[in-house]
Amino acid sequence: MRNLEKYVITIMAAIMLGTGSAESRDQAGKPISLRTMGSLLFGGSVASKPNGDTFHGDHGYAQYYIPENARQYPLIFWHGMMQSGKTWESTPDGREGFQAIFPRDDWAVYIIDQPRRGRAGYTQTPPADKDDAPAASQESATWTVFRNGVWTPPGEMTLFEGVQFPDDPAAIDQFFRQQTPNTGDEPRTNEHRRFMGKTMGALLDRTGESILVTHSNSGQYGWFSGMENPEQIKAIIAYEPGQFVLPETEPVREIPTNNKIAQGVLDPIPVPEEEFKKLTKMPIMVIFGDNIVDEPNANFNQEAWRVIRERCKQFVEAINRHGGDAILVELSKIGIRGNTHALMADKNNLQVATQLKDWLNQKGLDGREKPHAGPKALKIQSASIPVQK
């Protein structure tokens, strides 16, 4: 039965891919007509100092683009580890990213920098002495974990055959320069993940009902955002999320691996079952690119994606078993080949965007019944400020 379901899903995805590709080609080069554009800061905390001064920090940042004839639900794009909103903007080789591709097709978009990163970097929390993520400390590891190819110093970097990474020297230079460190600690605890979910809730207070799109490390924050805001988030699309959640009563499926880091760091995050079930209120699509190893590999940055993909299968099964609607899409199995970890920036990112648009259409989430007009005004209750005389 599982094999039949997998076959049906693959065929449906292939059909979905074919229906929208002509529309995307027609959209290419069309002028983008915006009602408005701008930026805002959301969430965060206010600390009072002993001398009466204050410190506003740990908020998020969002830039937004609202088309003149916008669809009803905006897309919120969340970057991954060592990245910022740049992920969704221009590609390393200077082509349009999702920042332009979706507004051209009347999708309103909000592109965020998460708290303690990029333009949301204001914090009193010191950065961690050492980031224990293997891909965060050296460019060769970043190259490999993004699956552009394999780079094991002192050897030279290599590219996978047929890879869609824009591989000219200028693009490689831009790829490395867009890496962005944390300005404060990013602890990996459920308390911190819930903080991220609540911070997303502050943005949703401004945007209204929205569709959340995560990438890589922010995938874990996307699940907690969905559990914190199940009525406001209409769907979650997770591009190669780094971790998944499971009910704390669910046995974790054993995945044989000879890499101890991959076994521990990538384990599912246990949450109460009643929280997990909130993720069944919205359709979920998890998407993976190409060149993921199928057998255990001693290199963590290659082995990680094999383990993560297996963890994804248990997550999708659990969501559907609890009455939800989740799907795992491996792009190479529906004819979109050569994609790296940065699928939204690859040379075929128009195809990747079309696959997402087609799925949103299938789920009835691309309508225009109440066109999105932009963020609501921020309202804060506070005492009036006296006028200095």
Residue-wise pLDDT tens for the chain (389 aa)? 334 343 333 334 433 444 344 444 446 678 999 999 999 999 999 999 999 999 999 999 999 999 999 999 999 999 999 999 999 999 999 999 999 999 999 999 999 999 999 999 999 998 876 655 555 578 999 999 999 999 999 999 999 999 999 999 999 999 999 999 999 998 789 999 999 999 999 999 999 999 999 999 999 999 999 999 999 999 999 999 999 999 999 999 889 888 877 777 789 999 999 999 999 999 999 999 999 999 999 888 899 999 999 999 999 999 999 999 999 999 999 999 999 999 999 999 999 999 999 999 999 999 999 999 999 998 887 766 778 77
Distance CA 205, CA 201 (A): 6
pTM, rounded to two decimals: 0.91
The total of other beta-carbon atoms located within 10 Å of residue 251's CB is: 7
For 244, the token pair is 């998944």
Domains, the chain? 2-124+133-362 (3.40.50.1820)
